[in-house]
Amino acid sequence: MKKIINHPNSVVSELLAGMVKAHPSLQYAEGLEVISRRQKTLGKVGVVAGGGSGHEPAHAGYVGRGMLDAAVAGNVFSSPSPDRIIKGIEEANGGAGVLLIIKNYSGDIMNFGMAKDLAEMDDIPVESVVVKDDVAVPDSTYSTGRRGIAGTVFVHKIAGAKAQAGGTLQEVKAAAEKAIANIRSMGMAMSPCTLPAVGKPGFQLGENEVEIGMGIHGEPGVERTGIKTAAETAQILLDRILQDYDFSGSEVALLVNGLGATPLMELYILNNEIEKILTAKGISIHKTFVGNYMTALEMSGCSVTLMKLDDELKQLLDAPCDTPALTVL
């Protein structure tokens, strides 16, 4: 195992400590592994997300004006505990309630649900939404129903913008739920990743093999096949997305996401092929995001996300934000 770390057991705390030193608008609750905005906005709905570490820049990279108020980090590929989530809720609470954005994994559902109940006992109004954008499989080892993957970033943006604009807790939740209903994603992996505490790859792929539909923790996909061209990969991923949801004639936001070890060269080549297919199908692209938005340590691969837009979602997507991983002016 070759990694730039000190000790496998300290990677999360040292990651977060290093992050706030690079971004002084953030603060770090050491020991509880929470990153939050240093300056709170009183009277604004707080937006909190989180999950296992190893998906950087998610989730702490989206803390800032116009997106998240706090992000809660678990250990690598492990859900954060309820006490960490409670701290995130407290840091995000500006007096107007808090929305939790949860990815659809059993540990996250359980721990965020427990934290929600405890916060409400302390008279903090809390609502939650669950992201399940992965069209690859109906069920997985880690979730009941579809997994939450890179489309979660769009939900952070929409909910954060609605909260920044002064929406009530119910309005922010409704905007997030609208985004979730209109988002679909599909991914593929070309190589495994190595958890620091394990020291060896979590699965194996042959020299010329790829796995279509693999999850961001290495969960099984739908097909293991030979390496494909960028054009073939774009077609395979989009076919599954477009079979699942009718995007025809609509305007969309497009996210071409790297899983950690895929060069931008390859992501832009893939984006070129995706845009050709969507244009031919009469699907208009309002805005495109290409890069590493939700990774899986050093896994090589990608995912594609489409979000169908209406006037409200477009306005919220385009609203300004300022975070370490995403800035919209």
Tell me the pLDDT tens digit for each residue of 270-285.
999 999 999 999 999 9
Tell me the pLDDT tens digit for each residue of 215-266.
999 888 899 999 999 999 999 999 999 999 999 999 999 999 999 999 999 9
Residue % of the chain over a pLDDT of 90? 93
Transcribe 19-31 into DSSP letters.
Answer: HHHH-TTEEEETT
**pTM value surpassing 0.85:** yes
User: Residue 248 has what pLDDT?
Assistant: 95
User: Residue 142 has what pLDDT?
Assistant: 58
CA gap 188, 144 in Å, rounded: 20
User: Residue 117 has what pLDDT?
Assistant: 97
Greatest CA separation found in the chain?
A: 55
Tokens of 292: 């590493």
User: Residue 203 has what pLDDT?
Assistant: 83
In the annotation, is 217 catalytic?
yes
The one catalytic residue among 23, 59, 217, 286: 217
Omega before 59 cis (within 30°)?
yes
CA gap 69, 79 in Å, rounded: 19
User: Residue 68 has what pLDDT?
Assistant: 98
Tell me the pLDDT tens digit for each residue of 54-64.
999 999 999 99
Sorted by sequence, the CB contacts under 8 Å of residue 2 that are 6+ apart come out as none
Closest CA to 257 of 296, 229, 285: 296
**145 vs 312, which has greater pLDDT?**
312
Interaxial angle between packed helices 169-181 and 152-164, expressed in degrees from 0 to 180 and rounded to the nearest 10 = 150
Mean pLDDT over 280-306 rounds to 98
Tokens of 309: 């837009």
pLDDT at 20 over 60: yes
User: Residue 200 has what pLDDT?
Assistant: 85
The one catalytic residue among 55, 59, 156, 286: 55
Tokens of 19: 């992050």
**Other CB atoms within 10 A of residue 149 CB:** 30
Tell me the pLDDT tens digit for each residue of 75-116.
999 999 999 999 999 999 999 999 999 999 999 999 999 999
pLDDT at 174 over 80: yes
Q: Which residues of 59-79 are buried (b: 16+ CB within 10 A; e: fewer)?
A: bbbbbbbbbbbbbbbbbbbbb
Mean pLDDT over 284-306 rounds to 98
pLDDT at 144 over 80: no
CA gap 184, 129 in Å, rounded: 16
Closest CA to 59 of 26, 106, 98: 26
User: Residue 38 has what pLDDT?
Assistant: 96
Mean pLDDT over 154-169 rounds to 98
Q: Which helix (H) or strand (E) holds 212?
A: strand 209-212
The band of 139, judged by pLDDT with boundaries at 50, 70 and 90, is low
User: Residue 39 has what pLDDT?
Assistant: 93
The band of 34, judged by pLDDT with boundaries at 50, 70 and 90, is very high
